[in-house]
Amino acid sequence: TLAGIAESGSVGCAACYKTFLDEISGSLHALPESTPYPGRMPRHYRLRREREARAALLREQMKQAVLAEDFEKGRVSVCANLPYYITTPILMKLLESALPFDNITIMIQSEVADRLCARAGKSEYGAITAVLAYYGEAEALFEVPADRFVPAPKVDSTVVRIRLYKERPYHPKDEALMFRTIKAAFEQRRKTLSNALSAAFGSLTKERLTDIIVACGHRADIRGEKLSIADFVALSDALY
């Protein structure tokens, strides 16, 4: 499976720059032998301890692997089989690292892949989709059925390639404000955008927020899931 992911991510090709290949794995075999798993623990508690240990190990591996000085001599391609339960934190760590990534190719739970690749207006579209679209474009390459794994998980997987912009097409006046606007829009996604934003921007009345939304070319009752990343950039600039 990893070979297929690597091929999809163009890892190992004869390119004019150096490509790095890292596999991030949450398998139990990656845990230190000293990790304690008392055999008499209740199953639910033991599983929680295992998950916490895996997450701690991955955090340490990420600290050691994602260092800018390691990649000063060339651009970087990341190829990873991400543990389902910490997909978003690891992906955001990579996107926010400012390292010279060409692309990120990851195998993740199919449900998460649907969210990453969704378009504005779709039910799967959410905050992570909009934030990802700020950094690059996500494309679902192929599915990996659960029965291809031993032992088989309860969910299918999908390999997704994220091509990062070399020059971002979006230039918000305040990047932090843009991210804050996106987060607020989806924290209460069943509410209208004006109602969702009013909880995060208490200094602005709902009427003022509605006026700003309409001035940006949207209906007064629009919801956040309808806005593309370009729309969020324009909205955050209007809130600036």
- The neighbour count for residue 93, using CB atoms within 10 Å, is 14
In tens, the pLDDT along 35-56 reads 444 444 455 555 666 667 766 6
Mean pLDDT, residues 198-209:
91
Closest CA to 235 of 200, 97, 124, 98: 200
pLDDT at 42: 55
In whole angstroms, give the CA distance from residue 155 to residue 161: 19
Q: Confidence class of residue 140 from pLDDT cuts 50, 70 and 90?
A: very high
- CA 219, chain centre distance (Å): 29
Q: Provide the whole-model pTM.
A: 0.72
In whole angstroms, give the CA distance from residue 80 to residue 59: 14
pLDDT at 35: 40
Q: What is the mean pLDDT of the chain?
A: 79
Q: What are phi and psi of 178, to 5 degrees?
A: -60, -45
pLDDT at 84: 77
pLDDT at 80: 85
Show the tokens assigned to 51: 């998950």
Residues 6+ apart with CB under 8 A from 71: 20, 99, 100
Over 90: is that where the pLDDT of 34 sits? Answer: no
Q: Confidence class of residue 222 from pLDDT cuts 50, 70 and 90?
A: very high
Cα–Cα–Cα angle for 162, 168, 173, rounded to 5 degrees: 130
pLDDT at 23: 42
Q: What is the DSSP letter of 151?
A: S
In tens, the pLDDT along 55-104 reads 666 666 555 555 555 556 567 788 888 877 788 888 888 888 877 788 99
Radius of gyration in angstroms for the set of CA atoms belonging to the chain, rounded to a whole number: 20
